Amino acid sequence: MGVQKKTRKFGAVKRIIGTRDARLKKNQLAGQKDDGKKKSKDGDVVREIPQVSSTLFFQHNTNLQPPYSILVDTNFLSHTVQYKLDMLPTMMDCLYATCRPIITSCVMAELEKLGAKYRIALKIARDERWERLQCDHKGVYADDCLVDRVMKHKIYIIATNDRDLKRRIRKVPGVPIMSVARGKYVIERLPDAPEK
């Protein structure tokens, strides 16, 4: 006769139900209480559905057309200086179209705060060729400003190398992201031109 196996069979192990299993009564009751709907103070169900822009057609933004308006972030300018790139010609080489770099007052304030290390980036940002946008909100946190502006108007391309800002912008449909990589500018999520 053979030696008896000391390991338990696979089926015997799988018969045990975990404490978080949806088939358990307490987990079913907890699931019924929270249906994903928020309740206001009065007890009314509040449904929050983000309003989709009328310019989006299957995630393709029809408002994006040359000349492209490009909102420039602080670290995009610092990476441009680091790789010794000329901003406007490199943007035109990337997009094959005319571009209008736009610098908000938040980005300017952030560059001024960073001090002497970023003085060349600040000098580039102060160039008269770039368009200026005045911000009317409190504080000088540029990331929130750029995300808010893109949510309201889907006519911009965001130029940034900030990983967190990119993650936030990717959640907004129809907004391309430009960044500096390997000594050149690269564009992410820009749709192809429609054929005529």
Per-residue pLDDT of 70-123, as tens digits, reads 999 999 999 999 999 999 999 999 999 999 999 999 999 999 999 999 999 999
Q: What is the pTM of this model?
A: 0.70
- Cα 187 to Cα 109: distance, rounded to the nearest angstrom: 26
Task: Give the domain extent around 182.
Answer: 63-188
The letter for the amino acid at 48 is: E
Closest C-alpha to 176, from 101, 71, 85: 71
Mean local confidence (pLDDT), 36-53: 64
**Averaged confidence pLDDT in the chain:** 83
Domain-located, residue 133: yes
pLDDT at 39 over 90: no
Domain-located, residue 25: no
Instruction: Indicate the burial class of 46 (C-beta count within 10 angstroms; 0-12, 13-18, 19 or more).
Output: exposed
Mean local confidence (pLDDT), 145-174: 92
* Number of other CB atoms surrounding residue 126 within 10 Å: 13
The partner residues of 181 in beta bridges, in order of sequence, read: 184
Instruction: Supply the CATH number for residue 69's domain.
Output: 3.40.50.1010
Q: Beta strand pairing status for 56-57 and 45-46?
A: unpaired
Per-residue pLDDT of 113-156, as tens digits, reads 999 999 999 999 999 999 999 988 887 789 999 999 999 888 99
pLDDT at 37 over 60: no
pLDDT at 164 over 90: yes
Domain-located, residue 28: no
Domain-located, residue 15: no
How many domains, the chain?
1
